[in-house]
Chain A
Amino acid sequence: DGGITQSPKYLFRKEGQNVTLSCEQNLNHDAMYWYRQDPGQGLRLIYYSQIVNDFQKGDIAEGYSVSREKKESFPLTVTSAQKNPTAFYLCASSIIRGQSPNTEAFFGQGTRLTVV
């Protein structure tokens, strides 16, 4: 069953702690993305990666970190430096534009992070 999986679905964190959100895909996609979704603000890009061992900052990367050690996996760490971490986080994957006409993005079900 091909797809993109995020875990956990809900996550609670104490202030001052780092937390890592998991994202795995078995679609053989080169590109992976992390977005933050807040009401009225749409999807804001945190980080993206187009190839293993390489990633780029998006519009709101401060307070976040990522790694891309395997093609299938792109975990996101929300650090204590992130001032307002409570949000809904979405992971996506796609092929690189130009590899095929079919360049739609596939999304995980999301992780809702709450800082308590």
Chain B
Amino acid sequence: AQRVTQPEKLLSVFKGAPVELKCNYSYSGSPELFWYVQYSRQRLQLLLRHISRESIKGFTADLNKGETSFHLKKPFAQEEDSAMYYCAPRYSGGGADGLTFGKGTHLIIQP
């Protein structure tokens, strides 16, 4: 079965500190990798995808195929970054069209 692991259920950092949300996935072919975010009282939405190599709201995520990781990073956290974050590899040929989600990390940015 395809798997994705987000080891931290809860991560609390102070404003201005660096943030890293970890994600490891099981290797199976070449999954597409995504991070989704859910702010309070808002719908779950895409934050960024590895194929675009983009930086969104100061967040970046580097795909490390050797470690099968896709950690999300931001050098200086802001209070508005407080939210639930889900790592989501998308595999080909898997169930549900390969759309799987980690259990999520609740990020809290303290003032």
Q: Please give the residue numbers on chain A whose beta carbons come within 8 Å of chain B beta carbons, in ascending order.
A: 31, 33, 35, 40-43, 45, 48, 50, 56, 58, 90, 92, 94, 96-98, 101, 103-105, 107-110
Chain A residues near B80 (CB-CB < 8 A): none
**Cβ contacts under 8 Å, A48 to chain B:** 95-97, 99
Minimal beta-carbon separation of B28 from chain A (angstroms): 13
Contact of A58 among B96, B103, B104 (CB under 8 A): B96
26 contacts between A and B (CB under 8 A): A33-B96, A33-B99, A35-B101, A42-B6, A42-B86, A42-B103, A42-B104, A43-B104, A45-B96, A45-B100, A48-B96, A56-B96, A90-B44, A94-B99, A97-B97, A103-B32, A103-B90, A104-B46, A104-B49, A105-B34, A105-B46, A105-B88, A107-B44, A107-B45, A108-B43, A110-B43
B47 to chain A, nearest CB (A): 10
Q: Mark B73-111, 1 if CB is under 8 A from A, else 0.
A: 000000000000010101010011111111110000000
CB distance from A113 to the nearest CB of B (A): 17
Q: How far is the CA of A92 from the CA of B99 in the complex (A)?
A: 10
- The size of the chain B interface, using a CB distance under 8 A, is 25
**A35 vs B102: C-alpha distance when bound (angstroms):** 13
Contact B9 A105 (CB under 8 A): no
**Told that A56-B95, A90-B44 touch, could you supply 16 new A-B pairs with CB distance under 8 A?**
A40-B103, A42-B6, A42-B86, A42-B101, A42-B102, A43-B104, A45-B96, A48-B95, A48-B96, A92-B44, A92-B99, A94-B99, A97-B97, A104-B46, A105-B36, A105-B88
Q: State in angstroms the CA–CA spacing of A107 and B32 once bound together.
A: 18
Q: Is the CB of B92 within 8 A of A107?
A: no
Say yes or no: B44 contacts A94, CB within 8 Å. no
A103: chain B residues within 8 A (beta carbon): 32, 90
Query: Smallest CB-CB separation from A35: which chain B residue?
Result: B101
In the complex, the answer to whether A31 meets B49 with C-beta atoms within 8 Å is no
Of the residues A41, A42, A98, A105, contact of B99 by C-beta under 8 Å: A105
